[in-house]
Amino acid sequence: MRKAPLFLIACALLMGLALAQTLLPDKTVSGMENRELMQRPRLTLDAMSGSRWADTFESYCADQLPLRDTFVSAYTSWEALTGHRLIEGVILGKEGRLFDRTDMWRERNVRLNASALADLEALTGRSLYLLAVPSASQVYADAAPPGAPIMAEAPLIDLAQRDVTVIPLLDALRDAAAEDQVYYRTDHHWTAAGAREGYLQVCAALGLTPLPELPLNTQAPFHGSFYARCPLPWQQADTFAWPELPALRLIIDGQTQDGFVDRNKLGERDLYAALMYGNHGRMELINEDAPDRTWFVIKDSFANALLPALSRHCRRIVAVDARYYAGDIVQEVLDSEGELILCIHGVASLASGRTLALLEGL
């Protein structure tokens, strides 16, 4: 009988949540998870003929659960307090650092992606350079817990080196990390300081004289992609930083943006998404004050923090993101008349999927 009050409380809680979910309007976007939420599925005879509608409705209920963010935070807090160091794919490291698990990556993906880049170099006759950005766990290895599911990335970078010219970066980032924070604690991306190190290595590889660092704008607090998956209330927030480059024009889908920072995104949780107005299949960066040259860049989101600095060395950069680009990459390179091809990709992108290998034209 003593369990009866707890049972009644649980029933009341469930009924209250169900009533709230019925009466409250559906949310369209999760600011915490930075994604669109499932909307109420239409109930039709065709949809009810199988399990599809039931599965969709279950996902809808999970997405629209009242106080969802609070429950997720409570769950991750409980997991952390009970000793778990891997929560929702996020590794809890020392000094408040969060890392991705990387033990599911495959060498075969690196070989296929690097081979595709080699084919692109041969088909276009343009020199191609790969800047493979390592994960934070490789730079702050001492902060990872013992036995963490983390894969060594240096052998993967060496594997890519067999097919393409790789710009060395890992050692430079490790050296820079001794004096500055080169990766965000709560996000998988590098900081402005980390991107600056990448810029210096590109300059060294291309024989360019590095330009002075631009003044930085900052905004806090910043809770990045790791925090979205593992929102611990006591997690130390980051300070987001980006340089100002007034001369830069950004062209996305035929529309010109002044500058490269989406000011509207600076009011949301995912501040890194403000850079380059997020990720797009194709964009152009125009800097009329730069030398008259054109580069072609194949990128993922790591490049968004690096492109402004590179644009100070060439008047035009044509950049495509293979995850969203649907055209013929070989023809795109030829049409752009780029003098060289620079591929800026995280090792995570190279090892976890075959995005580059699946580009049309290769």
72 within domain boundaries: no
Per-residue pLDDT, 259: 85
Check if the beta carbon of residue 306 is closer than 8 Å to that of residue 199: yes
- Domain presence at residue 147: yes
Give the residue ranges of DSSP H helices in the chain.
4-23, 45-48, 52-63, 68-81, 107-124, 136-139, 154-161, 170-177, 192-206, 225-229, 307-310, 329-336, 347-352
According to the model, what pLDDT value does residue 16 have? Answer: 54
CA distances from residue 72 to 15, 197, 205 in whole angstroms, order as listed: 19, 36, 45
Residues 326 and 222 in one domain: yes
Which of 66, 87, 115 lies at the terminal end of a domain, its last residue? Answer: 66
Return per-residue pLDDT of the chain as tens, 362 residues.
455 565 555 565 556 545 545 555 555 555 555 555 555 556 555 555 555 655 565 555 555 555 566 777 888 889 889 989 999 999 999 999 999 999 999 999 999 999 999 999 999 999 999 999 999 999 999 999 999 999 999 999 999 999 999 999 999 999 999 999 999 999 999 999 999 999 999 999 999 999 999 889 999 999 999 999 999 999 999 999 999 887 889 999 889 987 899 999 998 889 999 999 999 999 999 999 999 999 999 999 999 999 999 999 999 999 999 999 999 999 999 999 999 999 999 999 999 999 999 999 99
CA-CA distance, 131 to 309, in Å (whole number)?
15
Q: Which CB contacts under 8 angstroms, 24+ apart, belong to 3-7? A: none
pLDDT for position 47: 53
Last residue of a domain, one of 66, 90, 107: 66
In a shared domain, residues 20 and 139? no
Same domain membership, residue 169 and residue 56: no
Do 62 and 20 reside in the same domain of the chain?
Answer: yes
Which residue in the block uniquely carries the two structure tokens 């994960």? 135
Q: Decide if 73 is inside a domain.
A: no
- Verify that 271 and 129 share a domain, yes or no: yes
Provide the number of structural domains found in the chain. Answer: 2
Length of the chain: 362
Same domain, 38 and 154: no
Q: What is the DSSP letter of 20?
A: H
188 located within any domain: yes
Q: Is the pTM of this model over 0.75?
A: yes
**Per the domain annotation, does 3 fall within a domain?**
yes
Same domain, 130 and 60: no
pLDDT of residue 159: 96
Whether residue 79 is contained in a domain is answered as: no
pLDDT of 20: 46
Regarding whether 158 and 104 lie in a shared domain, the answer is yes
174 and 25 belong to one structural domain: no
Amino acid letter at 267? G
The CA radius of gyration of the chain, in Å to the nearest whole number, is 23
**Do 196 and 291 sit in the same domain of this protein?**
yes
Phi and psi torsions of 135, nearest 5°: -80, 160
Q: Where are the alpha helices (DSSP H) in 319-358?
A: 329-336, 347-352
pLDDT at 34: 54
Asked if residue 81 is part of any domain, the answer here is no
329, part of any domain: yes
If asked whether residues 171 and 50 sit together in one domain, one would say no
* Strand bridging mode 316-321 / 294-299: parallel
**CA angle, 91 then 35 then 302, to 5°:** 60
Q: Are 293 and 239 found together in one domain?
A: yes
- Token look-up 């994604």 returns 35
Q: What is the pLDDT of residue 212?
A: 93
End-of-domain residue from the set 25, 48, 66: 66
143: containing domain = 98-352
Round to whole Å and give the CA distance between 312 and 310: 5
**Residues 234, 298: Cα–Cα separation, whole Å:** 38
